[in-house]
Amino acid sequence: MIDLKTSPPPTTSQIQTLISSILHRCSPTPKIITFTSPLSYSYTTSPLSSSIPTFDTTDPRGLLILVLSMIESRGLENVRNDIIADCGQFEPLVKGPFHLCGTELINLCVFGRATSNVGAYHPMTGEKVPFTPTPVGLISHSEITTSTPIADHWKSPSHQVYIVHGDDHFTLLFKSTPSPLTPKTVFYTYNALPPNRLLLPIILSGSSLLLPPPTSPPTPPPSYLPPLNSLSSIILSPTKHLHPFKWRLRTYELCLHTPLTLKAASYPPRPSNIPPPTTYPLGPKPTGSWRCVACYETRYETMNFGVNGESDTCGHCGRTKEEGGWTIVKHYKELDESGRRRVDRFESKFLGVLRTRFHDVDVEIGGEVLGETHEGKGPVI
The stretch 58-63 carries a mean pLDDT of 75
Q: Which residues contact 325 (CB under 8 A, 6 or more apart)?
A: 256, 258, 259, 260, 261, 292, 293, 294
Q: Please say if the pLDDT value at position 217 is more than 60.
A: yes
Quote the pTM value. Answer: 0.86
Task: Assess whether pLDDT exceeds 60 at residue 54.
Answer: no
User: Mean pLDDT over residues 199-204, rounded?
Assistant: 90
pLDDT for the residue 1? 47
Classify strands 170-174 and 161-165 as parallel, antiparallel or unpaired: antiparallel
- How many angstroms separate the CA atoms of 260 and 322, rounded? 10
Confidence check: pLDDT of 225 > 70: yes
18-39: burial string, b at 16+ Cβ within 10 Å, e else? ebbebbebbbeebbbbeeeeee
Under the banding of pLDDT at 50, 70 and 90, the label for residue 172 is very high
Across the chain, what does the average pLDDT equal?
A: 87
d(CA 338, CA 278): 9
* Residue 9: CB atoms within 10 Å: 10
Amino acid at 104: E
- As a whole number of angstroms, the distance between CA 63 and CA 119 comes to 26
Phi first, then psi: give them for residue 175, nearest 5 degrees: -95, 140
CB 138 within 8 A of CB 109: no
Say if residue 4's pLDDT is above 60: no
Average pLDDT over residues 117-145: 90
